[in-house]
């Protein structure tokens, strides 16, 4: 999906559930990770039918929660499938 199509879709409203995917320090309790991710998303104006996914990040060490993706999880999977690489593959430099 092109960037323009994604922008138009965001303006028109989400297709379904919005997923907020983020990372938080591994030493935080799961409840704290979820609450902090939700707080960050609300500060950015994310509303509606929202699903929060907070991943515990151990390395590299982080001290605060960060949001990595907001939107339809299918769009994220499509992006990874298009631009990602398989384990062991190397890109030409």
Is 57 inside a domain boundary?
yes
Is 9 inside a domain boundary?
yes
Nearest-angstrom CA–CA distance, 41 and 93 = 36
Is 30 inside a domain boundary?
yes
Dihedral pair phi/psi, residue 56, rounded to 5°: -75, 120
Is 88 inside a domain boundary?
no
Give how many domains the chain has, as a whole number: 1
Is 70 inside a domain boundary?
yes
For the chain, 93 residues long, give each residue's pLDDT as a single digit of tens.
Answer: 677 777 776 676 655 688 999 999 999 999 999 999 999 999 999 888 899 999 999 888 899 999 999 988 888 888 888 887 766 666 555
Model pTM score: 0.69
Is 21 inside a domain boundary?
yes
Q: Which domain holds residue 69?
A: 3-83
Nearest-angstrom CA–CA distance, 21 and 57 = 12
Is 34 inside a domain boundary?
yes
Is 93 inside a domain boundary?
no
Token match 């092109």: residue? 2
Half-sphere exposure of 25 (CA within 13 A, CB side): 8
């Amino acid at each position: 999906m092109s960037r323009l199509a994604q922008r138009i879709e965001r303006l028109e409203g989400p297709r379904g559930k919005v997923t907020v995917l983020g990372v938080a320090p591994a030493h935080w309790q799961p409840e704290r990770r979820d609450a902090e991710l939700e707080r960050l998303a609300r500060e950015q104006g994310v509303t509606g039918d929202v699903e929060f996914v907070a991943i515990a990040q151990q390395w590299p060490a982080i001290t605060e929660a960060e949001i990595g993706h907001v939107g339809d999880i299918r769009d994220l999977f499509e992006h990874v499938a298009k631009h990602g690489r398989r384990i062991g593959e190397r890109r030409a430099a």
